[in-house]
Amino acid sequence: MNNKIIKYVITDLLRNRTILVYTLVLLALSLSIFMIEDNTDKGIASLLNIVLFVIPLVSIVFSTIYLYNSSEFIALLVSQPLKRQTIWLSLFIGLATAMSLAFLVGVGIPTLLFAPGISGITLVIDGLLLSLIFVSIAMWTSVRIRDKAKGIGLAIMLWLYFALIFDALLLFALFQFADYPIENLMIAVSMLNPIDISRILILLQIDLSAMMGYTGAIFRNFFGTHSGMIITFIIMLLWAAIPLYFSTRFFKQKDL
Amino acid sequence: MIKIEQLSKSFGKLHVLKNIDLQLEGGECVSLIGPNGSGKTTLIKSILGMVIPSSGRILFEHKNIHGAWQYRQDIGYMPQIGEYPENMTIGQVVDMMKDIRRMPEAEMDMELYDKFELHRMLDKRMRTLSGGTRQKVSACLAFMFNPKTLILDEPTAGLDPLATEILKEKIIKEKHKNKLILITSHVLSDLDDLVTQITYMQDGQLIFHKTIEALKTDTDTDKLSKAIAQVMRTEGGLR
């Protein structure tokens, strides 16, 4: 693995104004929430909603645009004595590092300062994983679609799907099958959406699950146990690894 | 040095390269000529491994390049439009290439780097550069690592006359070191005095590959541009 390219990709990204603005906006949001809210659990719940919307959106859209804008540079790297796989993975590591750093500075540090504890740590880990997952999805869409406008469009559609449409469909299904015992099925279905997994994990940590009734108890039974946590963690990692794997496979055969 | 066998490439229904056979040896300066869209750049990109051929194969020093990457150590490539990360400075781009190639400083060829006076603008960011300066950076990088083969895509486009002269002198010098130089260019007069072989492509087919003397005798002209114009006329007339 030639880590030399990673260094240059990260240097380039950290100079990027969008990343800087993103970090500052996150920092302002989390600081103001913690300043206003006395109860840290409530603070985390408010921050959670922002994290679950903003992190996936910025990660997927920014990465997609960056990859399209770098297409000539990627072509130049391919013409150099480098393995294609190395180039692609370096781009992933660069983007993932930049997004994670922005999140850590913007949300991670304030959270750990104002709300140290298991719920704060869960929020930070979830945010980091979500950054990785949506960078990975962006890698896959931008390698498959040549046209920049279509690629960015698809990225936004995917974000809408994961952030809003999936939940709407789930809610619809829930009402339709309200008379049946589908709680265990719900756990399985929620694994199909990394944003949902993150939300459930954090809500369970801040004891709001008591308000979720019987379903909350079922969730607690699964997500609250060690094996449940480990399975969830592995599924989150798979969400990051699978799009990256397919995008790398496609990139090796791509004409530039 | 480079041997191309029955190379074909299609993008969907579009056949960009049709059964190309071509052999190129060191010590030659080969000019790849053809109308727009004739497949020149695709051919170059296939040699560089940027485009994956649909069928056929390319041998670089008797080794199939499919799936290989080490062979590119021996190729210097100057793209038509050099695009680099916008926030990087010239110095960082040069350092990055040095990192990728990992060649000892003593073996590097800094002639163009000195003549184009790149050291005076190492702190300039890539996004602030004019097209000509970008071309200079690309040229320096292509020659810097003393490659056995040089592939130059429209090298003189955007360069001022002084820089063009410097580049031409450098190309001739490298040719005498028994290197293979492959150039595509539309500006024929620029190349008159350095090209030794002409490869003419049209509609994805290789029409001919001749030495310059043979071409001039065949077409009864003494200027390269006239000879090519004559060929284009007759080729056009054939269809």
- What's the CA gap between B151 and B129, in Å, rounded? 23
Measured between beta carbons, the chain A residues lying within 8 angstroms of B98 are none
Q: Which residues partner with B181 through β-bridges?
A: B29, B150
DSSP string across B48-64:
TTSS--SEEEEEETTEE
Q: Which of the two residues, A152 and B194, has the higher pLDDT score? A: A152
Separation between Cα atoms, residue B162 and residue A249, nearest integer Å: 45
As given in the structure block, the two tokens for residue A171 are 């809610």
Confidence of residue B195 (pLDDT cuts 50, 70, 90): confident
**Mean pLDDT, rounded, of chain A:** 89
Contacts 24+ apart (CB under 8 A), A223-228: A223/A187
Is it the case that residue A215 has pLDDT exceeding 70? Answer: no
Nearest-Cα distance to chain A for B138, in Å, is 10
Q: State what percent of residues in chain A have pLDDT above 90.
A: 50
- B226, pLDDT greater than 90: no
Q: What is the mean pLDDT of chain B?
A: 86
Look at residue B27 in the predicted model and tell me its pLDDT: 87
- Residue B239: what pLDDT? 47
Q: How confident is the model at residue A238 (pLDDT cuts 50, 70, 90)?
A: very high
Q: B125 pairs with which residues across the strands?
A: B89
Nearest beta carbon to residue A255 from set B52, B87, B101? B52
Strands B180-184 and B197-202: unpaired
> What would the two tokens of residue B35 be?
């109308």
Interface test with A, best of B46, B66, B87, B92 (most A CBs within 10 A): B87
Give the domain range for residue A106.
Answer: 4-252
- Flag if A255 and B11 touch (Cβ within 8 Å): yes
Nearest CB neighbour to A4, from listed B75, B85, B96: B96
Of residues A164, A198, A180, A143, the one with CA closest to residue A57: A164
Of the pLDDT bands very low, low, confident and very high (cuts 50, 70, 90), residue A107 is: very high
Looking at the complex, report in whole angstroms how far the Cα of residue A247 sits from the nearest Cα belonging to chain B: 17
The percent of residues above 70 in pLDDT, for chain B, comes to 95
pLDDT classification of A73: cutoffs 50, 70, 90 = confident
Mean pLDDT of A91-106: 95
Residue B100 structural domain: 2-238
Separation CA A74–CA A86 (nearest Å): 11
Q: Chain A residue closest to B49 (CA)?
A: A79
CB within 8 A of A102, min separation 6: which ones? A19, A22, A23, A26
Instruction: Check residue B187 and give its pLDDT.
Output: 59
- Report the sign of the C-alpha dihedral through residues A20, A22, A23, A24, in that order: positive
- What is the pLDDT, as a whole number, of residue A218? 75
B48 touches chain A (CB under 8 A): yes
> pLDDT class for A210, splitting at 50, 70, 90?
low
**A18–chain B Cβ distance below 8 A for any pair:** no
pLDDT digits (tens, 9 = 90+) for B76-108: 999 888 778 777 889 988 988 998 888 888 888
Q: What is the largest CA-CA distance in chain A?
A: 62
What B204-211 contacts at long range (C-beta under 8 Å, 24+ apart), as own/partner pairs, is B204/B15, B204/B16, B204/B17, B204/B18, B204/B20, B204/B38, B204/B39, B205/B18, B205/B19, B205/B20, B206/B20, B206/B21, B206/B22, B207/B231, B207/B235, B209/B22
Note whether B158 contacts A: Cβ–Cβ < 8 A.
no
**Edge-to-edge order in the sheet of strand B55-60:** B14-24, B2-11, B55-60, B63-64
Give the pLDDT confidence of A164-183 residue by residue, as tens digits: 999 889 888 888 887 888 77
pLDDT per residue as tens digits for the range A12-49? 888 889 999 999 999 999 999 999 888 888 888 888 88
- Model confidence at A1, in pLDDT bands (50, 70, 90)? very low
Q: How many domains does chain A have?
A: 1
Q: Which class for B180: exposed (0-12), middle (13-18), buried (19 or more C-beta within 10 A)?
A: buried
- Distance (Å) from the C-alpha of residue A36 to the closest C-alpha of chain B? 38
Inter-chain residue contact B50 with A78, CB threshold 8 Å: yes
- Determine the Cα–Cα distance for residues B166 and B160; give it in Å rounded to an integer: 10
Pairing of strands B2-11, B55-60: antiparallel
Residue B188's pLDDT is what? 65
In this complex, do B72 and A72 lie within 8 Å of one another by their Cβ atoms?
A: no
Tell me which residue in B52, B96, B101 faces A81 most closely, judged by beta carbons. Answer: B101
- List of residues 6+ apart from A213 with CB closer than 8 A: none
pLDDT at position A176 is 86
Which residue bears the tokens 């399209």? A68
Residue keyed to tokens 């360069």 = B159
Nearest CA in chain B to A80: B72
- Structure tokens that stand for B164 in this block: 């063009």
Q: Is the pLDDT of residue B1 over 50?
A: yes
Length of chain B: 239
Reported as a single tens digit per residue, the pLDDT across B107-157 is 888 889 899 998 899 999 888 998 889 999 999 999 999 999 999 988 888
Does the structure show a pLDDT above 70 at A3? no
Taking residues A70-82, what's their average pLDDT?
88
Three-class DSSP labels, chain A: CCCHHHHHHHHHHHCCHHHHHHHHHHHHHHHHHHHHCCCHHHHHHHHHHHHHHHHHHHHHHHHHHHHHHCHHHHHHHHCCCCCHHHHHHHHHHHHHHHHHHHHHHHHHHHHHHHCCCHHHHHHHHHHHHHHHHHHHHHHHHHHHCCCHHHHHHHHHHHHHHHHHHHHHHHHHHHHHCCCCCCHHHHHHHHCCCHHHHHHHHHHHHCCHHHHHHHHHHHHHHHHCCHHHHHHHHHHHHHHHHHHHHHHHHHHHCCCC
- Using the Cβ of A8 and the Cβ atoms of chain B, whether some distance falls under 8 Å is answered with yes
pLDDT of B235 over the 80 cut: no
Of B71, B73, B99, the CB nearest to A4: B99
Helix H segments across chain B? 40-47, 90-101, 111-115, 131-144, 161-176, 212-219, 224-238
Total domains present in chain B: 1
pLDDT tens-digit profile of B46-87?
Answer: 999 999 999 999 999 989 998 888 899 999 999 888 778 777
